[in-house]
């Protein structure tokens, strides 16, 4: 065992205090800064969505808030105590650029893009929405290539692709979505053979046409 003499021990202690004290002081500041950035980023995104006529819902029941949460909400707004749970961006006012504002909503569980002017490329902005369980893309121009961007959405349960340009080729991008239980394919060019092939990989998936 290596022995450390008294002078070296005192040197280590002195330098440890030199680094430890600033770290203890700065850590709360850093955490507050990170939290503040999240709040302001989410608030800006929500404001943009509402300005264009979209809707958002939060994951907090306002009637059951603690006194501390009520105070934070009063001082800083609801974005300081809650995350966005669902977003509705229906209509042609919402295209690829507007969908990009969803990036701050890491905990979003439900998203409707019914009749939005989104393209295949725009779906790449959903890759970070790992908690997404329900996605409505009906009445859009989404095609086979766009479904590639849905592969990281491992929690997806309900996917509506009715009246889109999706074909049998696009369904191949969905085979890795093990939790997918409901798939809507009305008014698409998907065939019986395509559905059969998908259900071999996802036997519990209920396909509705």
pLDDT digits (tens, 9 = 90+) for 126-161: 998 999 999 999 999 999 999 999 999 999 999 999
At 40 the pLDDT is 84
Low-confidence ranges of the chain (pLDDT < 70): 1-37, 62-63, 65, 69, 71-72, 74-76
At 80 the pLDDT is 77
pTM over 0.75: yes
Which residue, 204, 150, 147, 153, is CA-closest to 181? 204
At 66 the pLDDT is 78
At 65 the pLDDT is 63
At 106 the pLDDT is 86
Under CATH, what is the fold of the domain 6-208?
3.80.10
**Which tokens hold the place of 140?**
């859009």
At 23 the pLDDT is 54
At 79 the pLDDT is 77
Q: Which residues of 23-55 are buried (b: 16+ CB within 10 A; e: fewer)?
A: eeeeeeeeeeeeeeeebeebbebbeebeeeebe
At 77 the pLDDT is 76
Q: Where are the domains of the chain?
A: 6-208
At 145 the pLDDT is 96
């Amino acid at each position: 065992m290596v022995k450390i003499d008294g002078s070296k021990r005192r040197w280590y202690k002195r330098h440890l205090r030199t680094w430890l004290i600033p770290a203890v002081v700065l850590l709360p500041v850093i955490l507050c800064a990170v939290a503040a950035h999240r709040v302001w980023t989410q608030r800006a995104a929500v404001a943009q969505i509402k300005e264009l006529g979209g809707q958002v819902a939060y994951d907090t029941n306002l009637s059951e808030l603690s006194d501390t949460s009520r105070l934070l909400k009063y001082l800083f707004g609801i974005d300081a105590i809650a995350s966005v749970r669902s977003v509705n961006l229906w209509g042609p006012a919402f295209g690829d650029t507007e969908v990009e504002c969803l990036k701050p909503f890491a905990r979003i569980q439900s998203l409707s893009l019914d009749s939005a002017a989104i393209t295949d490329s725009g779906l790449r902005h959903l890759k970070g929405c790992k908690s997404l369980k329900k996605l409505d893309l009906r009445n859009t121009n989404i095609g086979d290539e766009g479904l590639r961007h849905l592969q990281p959405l491992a929690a997806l349960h309900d996917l509506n692709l009715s009246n889109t340009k999706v074909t049998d080729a696009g369904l191949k991008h969905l085979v890795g979505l093990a939790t997918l239980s409901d798939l809507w394919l009305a008014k698409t060019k998907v065939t019986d053979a395509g559905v059969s092939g998908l259900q071999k990989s996802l036997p519990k998936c209920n396909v509705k046409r």
